[in-house]
Amino acid sequence: MCIFRRIHSILSVFLVAGVLQYATSFYLPGLAPVSFCEKNTEKENEVPDCKSTIEVFVNRLDSVESVLPYEYTAFDLCSNDEEKRPSENLGQVLFGERIEPSPYKFEFKKKEECKHVCTKEYDTNRAGDKTLLEFLKKGMLLNYQHHWIVDNMPVTWCYDVEDGQKFCNPGFPIGCYVTESGRPKDACVVNSEFNERDTFYIFNHVDITIYYHVVVENEAAGSRLVAAKMEPKSYKHKDGPDCTGAPMDLSNKFSGELKVMYTYSVQFLEDQNIRWASRWDYILESMPHTNIQWFSIMNSLVIVLFLSGMVAMIMLRTLHKDIARYNQIDSVEDAQEEFGWKLVHGDVFRPPRKGMLLSVFLGSGTQILIMTFVTLFFACLGFLSPANRGALMTCAVVLWVLLGTPAGFVAARFYKSFGGEKWKTNVLLTAFLCPGVVFADFFVMNLILWGEGSSAAMPFGTLVAILALWFCISVPLTFLGAYFGFKKSAIEHPVRTNQIPRQIPEQSFYTKPFPGIIMGGILPFGCIFIQLFFILNSIWSHQMYYMFGFLFLVFIILVITCSEATILLCYFHLCAEDYHWQWRSFLTSGFTAIYFSVYAVHYFFSKLQISGLASTILYFGYTMIMALIFFLFTGTIGFFACFWFVTKIYSVVKVD
């Protein structure tokens, strides 16, 4: 894979995002509708861009019982090696998506019945065939799912669930398994004929229904696809395609020769009620969490806003009284009788211990904070919707690379204000410490994926391309930001720092560092708890996440909550004459990442059905990356909030 071609595809997301297509209506870049017409008709001649052949693309196969996705060809299914696979962006590669052309091709409005696709033959006496058959059994046992794509929309399997609702799954299983005790697992419950003990049933036939509506634009008629639904079935074809026989069973103890014939049936139905722009709605609205999510999110927002209002009111009223009282002091004797946060004004801006590490964390956290804000903003505008595959991750990575300058500037600025002089070490750590830890973890996870033959394993060329982006773009931008940060004069504090540190009195339990840090992370975690559940579901249970508007709102509330909770605890510590607020403010809100890690462990054991050592290691390895990013993100918010608060109160109060 050409490195420069990969870099070009990564950066192209911004070029695409800046292009507006002028037509009778506005569509997101790269997601314009495609018109279809019947083959060999006059309509096709009237519409230049009207297609007659509908291509089906296949994506990776995944399972809720395993973290390891596999390419479509890994299970020896019907493949199309003649056509070239479509290009993938960085986000798709990072998520392990492998979109390939398939031999399933339909002619628009042409009905097909039990159409033969391919036949796979196995002989258990041959080692290669036996290995392929065992891997196919493993896929059915772990409930691996197909993911087909028609006209850039998923082919869904819709079935009834509890309470009379219908769930549309953007995937369907390879097959299913009936245990030795006769209990059908997973999709085997849909057919009463699946009743043989210790037997696999292969879904080797699909009934596909494609819905379309007719549109007329510029006096030219064409049709647009608005839905693609299917139903998997199992048939034991004999001499030729026969979709009326018994199911295609495969005993777990089978030996000998086996033929598996794959077929399909397709029909087209007109539906003028579904608009092309809203053709994904029936998938998103059918998800089982949709109904409960509205109430849960609104309930969470009300609680968080109420708590944030109380914290703000307490802070404003308390500080107002303190500032008014301190400003009324006229004599030195009155000042000596005072106590609280004013007495530590000569030490509050004393450089913290390990100021180098804190400044590096602040630089990396600033980079992540800006990246998250801009990414969610674009997602709210619809540019990073599920229809635009891989765009979310691509946008996040490209933004992170381009935001090296703010990271270097913030790290250098605060390190200089802390009195640091090792500027070379500071800029190198900012450029390599946190990104290096993330990359090392990611590389180890990639080695495991390589060893397991998973499609999520990044190709070597892509790894080199990512390193090129890091070293050739992010690192120079970080150096540039650090240059401007060190060139500027040090941050001017409103009060002078005493030469001799003030002795800190004995602290009560709740003002000691560790209890305060533990308490500080509870409120921010409570604000993201509900959204965190659905985000983890989208990552590990392969559910679509699309409510970016709510996520952006929760992001804003998280920033406010982290800021207010950290400021409140910082005020209590200063009143207790403890002036070590820098690291404490960072760790107070950053401790939310510890709660996130604990919840991720609980989610793994209570919600997931993941089995296997490799999948377990991958889950916790990727969780460590997310926890580190979240730690830097929330910790930076808390520090900036406290820095503003401390600077503000000591600048408006008479302290000399």
What DSSP string describes 560-607?
HHHHHHHHHHHHHHHHTT----HHHHHHHHHTHHHHHHHHHHHHHHHT
pLDDT at 1 over 50: no
Q: Closest by alpha carbon to 481, among 559, 414, 433?
A: 414
- Please, what sign has the CA dihedral across residues 329, 331, 334, 340? positive
| Residues 434 and 630: beta-carbon distance below 8 Å | no
Q: Closest by alpha carbon to 401, among 362, 424, 428, 370?
A: 370
CA distances to 68, 73, 78, 439 from 446, rounded to whole Å, are 11, 20, 28, 10
Q: Closest by alpha carbon to 67, among 468, 620, 418, 540?
A: 540
Q: How confident is the model at residue 256 (pLDDT cuts 50, 70, 90)?
A: confident
Q: How confident is the model at residue 481 (pLDDT cuts 50, 70, 90)?
A: very high
Tokens representing residue 401 in the block:
């690379």
pLDDT at 22 over 50: no
Q: What integer pLDDT is reported at residue 286 of this predicted model?
A: 62
Provide the 8-state DSSP code for 106: E
Beta strands 205-217 and 199-202 are unpaired
Collect all residues with Cβ–Cβ distance below 8 Å to 500 and sequence separation of at least 6: none
25 CB-contact burial (10 Å; exposed 0-12 / middle 13-18 / buried 19+): exposed
- 22-36, 190-204, 639-653: which has the minimum mean pLDDT? 22-36
Q: What integer pLDDT is reported at residue 287 of this predicted model?
A: 62
Instruction: State the Cα–Cα distance between residues 556 and 308, nearest whole angstrom.
Output: 12
Q: How confident is the model at residue 339 (pLDDT cuts 50, 70, 90)?
A: low
Instruction: State the Cα–Cα distance between residues 520 and 462, nearest whole angstrom.
Output: 40
CA distances to 236, 321, 330, 546, 594 from 327, rounded to whole Å, are 90, 10, 8, 52, 41
Q: What integer pLDDT is reported at residue 6 of this predicted model?
A: 41
Residue type, 568: L
Beta bridge partners of 158: 168
Mean pLDDT (the chain, rounded): 83
Task: Work out the average pLDDT over 32-39.
Answer: 83
The percent of residues above 70 in pLDDT, for the chain, comes to: 85
Collect all residues with Cβ–Cβ distance below 8 Å to 86 and sequence separation of at least 6: 57, 99, 101
Q: What integer pLDDT is reported at residue 649 of this predicted model?
A: 81
Please count the residues of the chain.
656
| Residues 132 and 260: beta-carbon distance below 8 Å | no
Collect all residues with Cβ–Cβ distance below 8 Å to 597 and sequence separation of at least 6: 623, 627
Instruction: State the Cα–Cα distance between residues 542 and 198, nearest whole angstrom.
Output: 28
Q: What is the pLDDT of residues 285-314, one digit of tens each?
A: 666 554 555 666 676 677 677 767 776 776
CA distances to 556, 585, 596, 641, 642 from 521, rounded to whole Å, are 16, 11, 10, 15, 15
Q: What integer pLDDT is reported at residue 15 of this predicted model?
A: 31
Angle at 136 between CA 130 and CA 142, to 5 degrees: 135
**Residue ranges of the alpha helices (H) in 418-459?**
423-452
Beta bridge partners of 36: 51, 223
- 292-306, 332-346, 522-536, 559-573: which has the minimum mean pLDDT? 332-346
Instruction: State the Cα–Cα distance between residues 523 and 589, nearest whole angstrom.
Output: 9
Element (DSSP H or E) covering residue 56: strand 53-58
Instruction: State the Cα–Cα distance between residues 25 and 35, nearest whole angstrom.
Output: 15
Q: Closest by alpha carbon to 90, among 7, 2, 154, 3?
A: 7
Q: Is 419 helix (H, G, I), strand (E, B) or coil?
A: coil
pLDDT at 436 over 90: yes
Token pair 């990727």 is at which residue?
622
Instruction: State the Cα–Cα distance between residues 393 and 402, nearest whole angstrom.
Output: 14
Beta strands 257-270 and 205-217 are parallel
Q: At what angle do helices 355-380 and 423-452 cross, to 10 degrees?
A: 60
CA distances to 137, 140, 143, 251 from 199, rounded to whole Å, are 10, 11, 14, 4
Instruction: State the Cα–Cα distance between residues 522 and 326, nearest whole angstrom.
Output: 33
Q: What is the pLDDT of residues 566-625, one digit of tens each?
A: 988 888 888 888 888 999 999 999 999 999 999 999 999 988 888 788 999 999 999 999
Task: Pick the more confident residue, 73 or 530.
Answer: 73
Q: What integer pLDDT is reported at residue 13 of this predicted model?
A: 34
**Burial readout 456-492 (b: 16 or more C-beta within 10 A, e: otherwise):** bbbeeebbebbeebbeebbbebbbebbeebbeeeeee
Residue type, 376: L
Q: What integer pLDDT is reported at residue 9 of this predicted model?
A: 41
Q: What is the pLDDT of residues 153-209, one digit of tens each?
A: 899 998 877 666 777 888 899 999 999 888 898 888 888 888 888 999 999 999 999
Q: Tally Cβ neighbours within 10 Å of residue 421.
A: 9
Task: Work out the average pLDDT over 75-80.
Answer: 88
Provide the 8-state DSSP code for 495: S
Residue type, 246: A
Task: Pick the more confident residue, 594 or 321.
Answer: 594
Q: Is 18 helix (H, G, I), strand (E, B) or coil?
A: coil
List phi, psi (to 5°) of 58.
Answer: -115, 140
Q: What is the pLDDT of residues 93-142, one digit of tens each?
A: 887 788 899 999 999 999 999 999 999 999 988 999 899 999 999 999 99
Beta bridge partners of 206: 232, 264
